[in-house]
Chains A and B, each alone.
Chain A
């Protein structure tokens, strides 16, 4: 059981670092609490959904901002709003913060600002995706080793 303990400790440290660096916030903890025997993969499912959503939205925004003749800021704003909602639901704090900034640029109809934000969002999203995938892999390893995923306080 040493392996399990080790893996569990690793998981906890990683989790803590994610929280510390602001990738995830309390909402994510709440989601983890919702995971139980009835829905054992709840967090993974929500995360996958989030990633799909994110990609779709980012593509939409990119296309909208590329329009040379008149950017439809309304559409961009809608997409950003959605992204903000999704990220806050899952607890992706950094992504959410970028979205907030993004929204103000949209309101100001600042194309340059928007493009910059879009880049930031894409960056954050990729980072988060990697981190979460690592976390999930750790979880799988723990479960495979016969242990239980420790709950984070």
Chain B
């Protein structure tokens, strides 16, 4: 009984203290969410304790009150217990789930921690890569690049050894080029076709290789447990004479091998991120190396160009010196050679005129002939050099074509008749009488060609024909690059010289126009000449925008020399002017203007008569009119000049001038209008200019003045003023 008593008492104590503890601890922790439950629980426990306490009194006889209290207590306890029980049904799953969540969160935290670790490592790797790349790319020198790579990699990854194997020139072996620790690579080589090496080369990843691989055996082996080894390929760009359009294909890339070894005995393993770092670095190194290679190549190319430049410059300067020397030589020779030649020729000709014995005459003739030949030779050579220089320019002028050909004929006839050759000239009827060109050189060309014809013909005839080349015939199939285009103010003169001499064989034809080349045959060698003639002709013809060639059917069958040159067509006025006015010196006799039809208009009989007298004295055919109407009526295109007296007041000479101009629409039909006036103030002069008068003469007119005025007018077609 006592023990029940004590036990109950302790139970009650316990029951009372538990809630106290609960309350105390809950108060301490502010987070516990289920306060209400706790209160309930506390109540439940308190009541239970109370029950037990009250139990103490029920062991003995107890009064009704105690029994009442007990009952109440028990009822309350029961109620609260039931409620609590019910509550707990709801709460306990919650509490349990809290626990689950806690576990979940812990797991999550662990995972995040791991990931953080990973990210940090990656970030560090990235930083290393950037730093490495920066180091690698900060230089374009190949050695520095590689050295830096190895050093940095070694540092970042804490490697024991890092080595780079480069392929040899032959491409069959890998040679140890750079190492990290060993300062002097021995030049150790390894054949390139090792299966492990192939494996590494065929993949772009860093691959773990066995430490027993020949490339990995470079460190002092032996005592230690070798650390893991990784190898990665580094693509190399191999350029020589690089062409921009010619990049080497990927398949022909050569590779170098980078081998990285972890420290032995460290039980470290290659982590994935470290491998990635190695791969990235290898790529960067490849890029940097290719840049270095390109730079080297371009430097080499530049050096080569500079050398070439220097050489070219030297050559140019030498050529310039040579040209200058030649020009100086020519300039000197030109004068120095010709002067004595002229002296010799002149004096020999003079000597010829004196009394000589036959032998002496023969000797003098030979001297003359030889010196003439020599003079021609000198001229030819000098001419040719000038032609080559490009410094020769044509002297263009108007000349009479017919006269030119006649003169050629006259010059060649004596020689031809000596050789009993018959020369005939055939000029086409449509050949213009006058042409614009270099008369002297055209004559030289024709003479040369005809001379050749005469020289190389022993007998027979020579036919010279000249005509205007028609458009269809201008295109010569032999010379496709020569297409002359006839135009309005020029025409192409075609001259053919056909001879019946020894002819030329077809293989010699191209050589004909080369300098100093002569056809090797005795007949020709005997006839002298320098071989320059045709070359010079060709140059002249080319200058005249033409073409020259020789046709021959073979040896003994004669040959025809044909050339075409471009000549200008002179203006028609020049024609008529030239016909009217053969060149006479100005102070010639009275009939300086034969038959020149002029019209004199003057109201004043006396001055009219005086002017007429002047003009008649100069040989003109004068028509006189005394009024403007008469002037307009009489004036015709036959009158070349109209002299108009305009100092009569009240009569407007200007108007007549205008009317005359209107009467003749074509300018070259219109007569030249000259005003004769007594005053030449500026206003009058300007008026004349405006009206379109061609000239102005101040009265009184002297004979000489009239003569010079007329010659000026006819030459220039305008005179502005003769005082």
Chain A: residues with CB nearer than 8 A to chain B? 26-27, 30-31, 33-34, 36, 38-39, 42, 45-46, 49-50, 53, 77-78, 81-82, 85-86, 88-91
A107 nearest CB across to chain B (Å): 11
A89 adjacent to B610 (CB under 8 Å)? yes
Other-chain residue from B606, B614, B647, B648 in contact with A49 (beta carbon distance below 8 A): B606
Evaluate contact between A86 and B604: CB separation under 8 angstroms: yes
Bound complex: CA of A38 vs CA of B618, how far in Å?
11
Contacting B607 at CB < 8 Å: which of A34, A42, A45, A85? A85
**Min distance, Cβ A29 to any Cβ of chain B, angstroms:** 9
Alpha-carbon distance A143/B647, docked complex (angstroms): 38
B610 in contact with A90 (CB, 8 Å): yes
- State which of A26, A34, A78, A89 has its C-beta within 8 Å of the C-beta of B606: A89
Q: Which of B604-621 contact A (CB under 8 A)?
A: 604-607, 609-610, 613-614, 616-617
Q: Which of B603, B613, B616, B649 has the most CB of A within 10 A?
A: B613
Which of A36, A38, A39, A88 contacts B699 (CB under 8 A)?
A88
The chain A residue sitting closest to B591, CB to CB, is A38
Contact at B703–A30, with CB atoms within 8 Å? yes
B585 to chain A, nearest CB (A): 19
Given A30-B702, A33-B703; A89-B607 close (CB under 8 Å): yes
Q: How far is the CA of A72 from the CA of B5 in the complex (A)?
A: 186
Name 30 interchain pairs, CB-CB below 8 A, sorted by A.
Answer: A34-B614, A34-B703, A38-B617, A39-B616, A42-B613, A46-B610, A49-B609, A50-B606, A53-B605, A77-B649, A78-B649, A81-B647, A81-B649, A82-B604, A82-B648, A85-B604, A85-B607, A85-B645, A85-B647, A85-B678, A86-B606, A86-B607, A88-B607, A88-B699, A89-B604, A89-B606, A89-B607, A89-B609, A90-B606, A90-B610
Chain B nearest Cβ from A77, distance in angstroms = 8
Nearest opposing residue in chain B for A90, CB measure:
B606
B510 interfacial by beta-carbon distance below 8 Å: no
Which among A26, A46, A88, A91 is the interface contact of B613 at CB below 8 angstroms? Answer: A46
Q: Are A36 and B590 in contact (CB under 8 A)?
A: yes
Residue of B613, B648, B700, B703 near A39 (CB, 8 A) is: B613
Partner of B650 from the list A34, A49, A78, A86 (CB cut-off 8 Å) is: A78
CA distance A88 to B678 in the complex (A): 10
* A88 and B650 within 8 A (CB): no
Q: For A90, list chain B residues within 8 Å (CB).
A: 606, 610
Complex Cα spacing A45 to B606, Å:
10
State A27–B647 Cα separation when bound (angstroms).
18
Is there contact, CB below 8 Å, between B700 and A88? yes
| Shortest Cβ gap from B252 to chain A (Å) | 106
CB distance from B592 to the nearest CB of A (A): 14
0/1 per residue, B679-723, Cβ < 8 Å to A? Answer: 000000000000000000001101100000000000000000000
Most A CB atoms within 10 A — which of B590, B605, B606, B703?
B606
- The docked-state distance in angstroms from the alpha carbon of A27 to that of B698 is 13
Task: Scan B576-613; emit 1 where CB is below 8 A from any A CB, else 0.
Answer: 00000000000000100000000000011111011001
Query: A residues within 8 A CB of B603?
Result: 82
Given the complex, which residues of B lie within 8 Å of A77, measured CB to CB?
Answer: 649
A38 to B610, CA, bound (A): 15
Contacts of B699 in A (CB 8 A): 88-89
The answer for the CA separation of A86 and B699 in the assembled complex, in Å, is 11
B-chain residues with CB within 8 Å of residue A33 when the two chains form the complex: 617, 703
A90 to B608, CA, bound (A): 11
Could you say which residues of chain B place their CB within 8 Å of the CB of A42? 613
What residues of B have a CB within 8 angstroms of the CB of A86 in the complex?
A: 604-607
B residues 635-658 with Cβ under 8 Å of A?
Answer: 645, 647-650
Question: Complex formed: what's the CA distance from A86 to B609 in Å?
Answer: 10
Q: Find out whether the CB atom of A85 lies under 8 angstroms from the CB atom of B616.
A: no
Chain B residues whose CB sits within 8 angstroms of the CB of A50 once the complex forms = 606
Residue of B nearest to A87 (CB): B606
Q: Chain A residues near B606: list those with CB within 8 A.
A: 46, 49-50, 53, 85-86, 89-90
Distance in Å: Cβ of B227 to nearest Cβ of chain A? 132
Contacts of B610 in A (CB 8 A): 31, 46, 89-90
Knowing that A39-B613, A46-B606, A77-B649 touch, tell me 6 more A-B residue pairs with CB under 8 angstroms: A26-B702, A33-B617, A34-B613, A45-B609, A46-B610, A85-B607
Minimal beta-carbon separation of A128 from chain B (angstroms): 13
Top 3 A-B pairs, shortest CB-CB distance:
A89-B607, A86-B606, A85-B604
Chain A residues within 8 Å of B650, by CB = 78
Write out the residue numbers on chain A whose beta carbons fall within 8 Å of the beta carbon of B590.
36
Complex formed: what's the CA distance from A34 to B617 in Å?
6
Query: Who on chain A is nearest to B614 by CB?
Result: A34
Q: Which residues of chain B in 533-592 are interfacial with respect to chain A, using CB atoms and an 8 Å cutoff?
A: 590
A86–B603 Cα gap in the complex (Å)? Answer: 10
Q: How far is the CA of A42 from the CA of B647 in the complex (A)?
A: 24
Q: Which residues of A contact B702 (CB under 8 A)?
A: 26, 30
CB distance from A84 to the nearest CB of B (A): 8
Interface string of B74-109 (1 = CB under 8 A from A): 000000000000000000000000000000000000
Taking CB atoms, residues of chain A closer than 8 Å to B609 are: 45-46, 49, 89
* Separation of A26 and B702 alpha carbons in the complex (Å): 9
